[in-house]
Amino acid sequence: MNFLARQVRKSVNIAKTLLSLDQNTRRWNALRNAYRGQRVFLIGNGPSLNETPLFLLKGELTLCFNRFHLMHERLSWSPHFYMCIDPAVLPEMAPEINQHAPLYRYVCVHSLHAGAIIKRDNVLLMHPVARVPYFSWRLPLFASGGTVAYPGLQMLFFSGFSTIYLVGVDQNYVIHETATPTTGIRVESQHDDDPNHFDPRYFGKGRTYHQPVEATRLRMTRAFTRVRDIAAERGIVIKNAGAGGQLEIFDRVDLHSLFAFSRDQEYKLLAESVSDACRPEKLRTYMEDGRVEQDLAPDISDGVLLVEREVGKKWIPRLITRYVPFGPIRGRYLFVRREERRALVARHFE
């Protein structure tokens, strides 16, 4: 689609939205303030997700983005909201979005790049109108800000949420040195070695995306600062419940403090993530009393591994293609080999 065609399409979309002329806008209108007064977790895709006990979020309202589905294998729940609006990412991800769309209550995608997205009742189109510092209160119109979290926050404000917790929004990007430049700041990854997300396959071999250059990071900072100020004016609480990272624009809160789970309840939630046949008491015994690996040799062959937090977060990027990691819980991670996952869980935890 050339520049003129895009501008015409944008104008038509804005008119449809303002006059509520199409079914898409009417679906958005039904979402306005539908979650008034509730809390929600906005989940970024930074490396700190590997240090975040996401199993605690079962039963919570959550918003995820882009290739979060790589995390699905570690969880017993699916996010409520999904969003992808990056012009470089959305067309390439269409098959993955179509595959996982039935898992989500709402799927929000960029209208100008959603041609390959299957039309479903839960798919909502979003229309770009401006960049920061503009902030849209009239979805499906949205403003971009260098990060999908910015339109994500616009959607959450529009939906009426009064408390928003961020996890995995790290803001400590590094340049992907092995990626090959294509056009502008777009690059194509040559290996499964993405350093900026929870899984090295996220923008792995053959994936096209935007390199996180300094100008983009500055746009993100402006966007989050704008959100913080608007939230303060409207009485909306936004806190960073992430594990580390460099996003200090929002006050920090410990994720565990947001729940009142007992130790047994936490192990039950983790067991449900491992397998519906995993017995929580057997999992707890193994993780608290089992043999802890002090180091992981390159030729490690054990089917089930138990490691301390520092070892685990260091080795997740290396082991992720062979093992599914679970945790952390009580300072430890569990790794289960992929190719025998069901049999291994049965042997150790049923």
> Lowest mean pLDDT: which of 43-47, 53-57, 114-118, 176-180?
176-180
Instruction: Quick: pLDDT tens for 153-162.
Output: 999 999 999 9
> Lowest mean pLDDT: which of 25-29, 181-185, 262-266?
181-185
The answer on pLDDT for 297 being more than 80 is no
Residue 22 pLDDT class (50, 70, 90 cuts): confident
In the prediction, which pLDDT does 331 show?
94
Instruction: Give pairs for 109-117: CB < 8 Å, separation 24+.
Output: 109/83, 109/84, 109/85, 110/84, 110/85, 110/86, 111/9, 111/13, 111/140, 112/1, 112/6, 112/9, 112/10, 112/87, 113/87, 114/90, 115/91, 116/91, 117/90
In a domain, 202, yes or no: no
| Distance of alpha carbon 275 from alpha carbon 231, whole angstroms | 39
The answer on pLDDT for 5 being more than 70 is no
SS3 29: helix
In the prediction, which pLDDT does 2 show?
63
User: What range does the domain containing 289 cover?
Assistant: 263-349
The one-letter code for the residue type at 88 is: A
The answer on pLDDT for 251 being more than 60 is yes
Residue at a domain's end among 232, 258, 284: 258
In the prediction, which pLDDT does 247 show?
96
In the prediction, which pLDDT does 344 show?
94
Mean of pLDDT values over 226-237: 97
Residues 224 and 299 in one domain: no
In a domain, 254, yes or no: yes
Nearest to 205 by CA among 191, 219, 184: 191
The answer on pLDDT for 299 being more than 60 is no
The answer on pLDDT for 17 being more than 80 is no
Residues 233 and 282 in one domain: no
In a domain, 201, yes or no: no
The answer on pLDDT for 298 being more than 60 is no
Structure tokens, 342: 């069901």
The answer on pLDDT for 124 being more than 60 is yes
Residues 69 and 127 in one domain: yes
Residues 224 and 284 in one domain: no
Instruction: Quick: pLDDT tens for 201-224.
Output: 999 999 988 888 889 899 999 999
The answer on pLDDT for 174 being more than 80 is yes
Instruction: Quick: pLDDT tens for 270-285.
Output: 999 999 999 999 999 9
In the prediction, which pLDDT does 7 show?
66
Instruction: Quick: pLDDT tens for 62-88.
Output: 999 999 999 999 999 999 999 999 998
In a domain, 196, yes or no: no
The number of folded domains in the chain is 2
| Distance of alpha carbon 243 from alpha carbon 224, whole angstroms | 18
Residues 216 and 322 in one domain: no
Residues 106 and 233 in one domain: yes
Mean of pLDDT values over 3-24: 70
List C-alpha distances in Å: 322 to 206, 294, 301, 325, 339. Answer: 20, 19, 10, 10, 8
In a domain, 269, yes or no: yes
Residues 143 and 283 in one domain: no
Residues 31 and 140 in one domain: yes
Residues 241 and 341 in one domain: no
Instruction: Quick: pLDDT tens for 40-63.
Output: 999 999 999 999 999 999 999 999
* Residues whose CB is less than 8 angstroms from the CB of residue 323 and which lie 6 or more positions away in sequence, other chains included: 305, 335, 336, 337, 338
Indicate the pTM of the whole model: 0.94
Residues 246 and 293 in one domain: no
